[in-house]
Amino acid sequence: MAFQTTINNFAAASEQQRAGVTIEALIGNTPLLGFQRLTAHLPTHVNVYAKAEWTNPGGSVKDRAALNIIRTAEREGKLRRGMTLVDSTSGNTGIAYAMIGAARGIKVKLFLPANASAERVTILKAYGVELVLTDPLEGSDGAIRAVRELVANEPDAYFYADQYSNPANWQAHYHSTGIEIWEQTAGAVTHFIAGLGTSGTLMGTGRRLKEYNPDIQIISLQPDSPFHGLEGLKHMPSAIKPGIYDEHLADRNLDINTEETHEMAHRLAREEGLLVGISAASAMVGALRVAEEIAQTGEPATIVTLFPDNAYKYLSHAPWK
């Protein structure tokens, strides 16, 4: 009888309820991680946390920006039926475009450096996107130049998502990531730390947190030289600066080197059980550096950073191979 009642209740549910959630509904509201061993040397009044962004369905923080870029473009009539979404990417945003595009029936064409990991290329091909591989020596800037040339020649055929200059990128974090951090820390956050790639995460989250409390310190991370192994991060003085980047928003910038980041990636895996990407490891380097400085002062702090993805798309690259 109880089983039949359950069946009857399910049958009476609305079509929407029985359909389950969509891929898009799974984006955001990522958990806030604490640490056991890496932060054991810190005093109890200095806490470090990180948003686990690989729990997004596309496996990275870029799901947030890609979804908002697509929704905004559709709402404003810039992305219409039959058009192809095109952009440059180092991988994660492209995967997010590909996933959401497949779910919505949107054609996607992506330009990415030819040295992108084999895992990311395979994932993109699995989603059925059209790929154009650009000169690996030119990095993400080479992909940007190539996609701009294509769009200039055929402007009506493409919606150029332009993640580096599209305000919908940082607005995604203003309307989600910043709110989540404030709520998950019950307003106790004192520092937010994030790496600079497109800069959307730092710009959007930083602006939202500053509105909640102007005293919250916003700290940016970037490689310490133009020649580095921190994939996904930009050395702003030598790179094409994203149009959405405001160099005055951050209260402080930290330079991170490749070697300490690779070491941290191994430590996170072996001491915390967290197999994360390189940009996530660099975020932990920065967060610990700030935490250790504050520990010297005796002041309390709640430091939040963000782990953009895990390492599963990079295992064929250093420091894992």
Q: What is the pLDDT of residues 89-103, one digit of tens each?
A: 878 999 999 999 999
pTM comes to 0.91
**How far apart, in whole angstroms, are the C-alpha atoms of residue 209 and residue 186?**
12
Structural element, H or E, at residue 201: helix 200-212
Q: What number of other Cβ atoms are within 10 A of residue 96's Cβ?
A: 27
Rounded to 5°, angle at Cα 253 from 40 and 183: 60
pLDDT tens-digit series, residues 53-85:
999 999 999 999 999 999 999 999 999 988 999
pLDDT tens-digit series, residues 118-137:
898 999 999 999 999 999 88
- Selected catalytic residue, list 62, 109, 234, 313: 62
Domain boundaries, the chain: 30-59+169-307, 62-167
- Annotated catalytic residue 62: yes
Give all strands of the β-sheet with 32-33 in edge-to-edge order: 32-33, 46-52, 301-307, 191-195, 217-223, 252-256
User: May I ask the CATH architecture of the domain 62-167?
Assistant: 3-Layer(aba) Sandwich (3.40)
Q: Tokens at residue 85, please?
A: 């979404």
pLDDT tens-digit series, residues 196-233:
999 999 999 999 999 999 999 999 999 988 888 787 88
- Selected catalytic residue, list 199, 279, 282, 313: 279
Contact between 281 and 256 under an 8 Å Cβ cutoff? The reply is no
First vs last C-alpha separation in the chain? 57
User: Is 30-59+169-307 a CATH 3.40.50.1100 domain?
Assistant: yes
Q: Do domains 30-59+169-307 and 62-167 have the same CATH topology?
A: yes
**How far apart, in whole angstroms, are the C-alpha atoms of residue 177 and residue 185?**
12
